[in-house]
Amino acid sequence: MEVNEEKAIELLKKYAKDEERFEWVMKHVRLVQKIALRISKDISRVDIEFIRIACLLHDIGIFRFPKEARGVDKIRHGIYGAEILKKEGLDERYQKVCETHIGAGIIKEEIIKEDLDLPHRDFIPQTIEEKIIAYADKLAHGDEEWKIHQVVERYSREVSEKSAERVQKLNDEIKSLRQCS
């Protein structure tokens, strides 16, 4: 299925439980989109149109859970988002963005060690577009843009030191890509 911004928003509306939740998610994904597009301007060989649309869809799986969802429910929204987009016939690239935007990715060993209700495989952003969107999503705390040090501190405090290190590594990689272009 070909998707543009209008169709992406229609999909979000289709899966939103109510208007309030839709508006809350839209504020967040629009901020992610704004940050990702700002970053993308500084990096060559990036599919800008894909980033524009994928940012809107990356959190579609969150509608399956209540707004206050935490822990594994919050983590699983990436898997559910990928399932929704597959069911809707969207390209696998969009599905991968859903799966890999959680944290700065999750590795199989952590899934097993923490006994997370996720498939036992790595969910690490691989393409530059996946990395930009995952990074922009970390900086977009709800509808407020955070500084990277705030994000790293939060991950260190609330998730794990390994996750915080992955966020910092992703920041360093994005920074390097922006300087090289």
Looking at domain 5-180, which of 1.10.3210, 3.30.70, 3.30.43, 2.120.10 is its CATH number? 1.10.3210
Domain boundaries, the chain: 5-180
C-alpha dihedral (56, 106, 108, 74), degrees to nearest 10: -70
Structure confidence by residue, pLDDT tens digits, 37-72: 999 999 999 999 999 999 999 999 999 987 776 666
Residue with tokens 């060989």: 45
Question: Distance (Å, rounded) from C-alpha 5 to C-alpha 62?
Answer: 19
Q: Rounded mean pLDDT of the chain?
A: 94
The pLDDT, as a whole number, for residue 74 is 78
Residue 142 pLDDT level (bands cut at 50, 70, 90)? confident
Structure confidence by residue, pLDDT tens digits, 129-139: 999 999 999 99
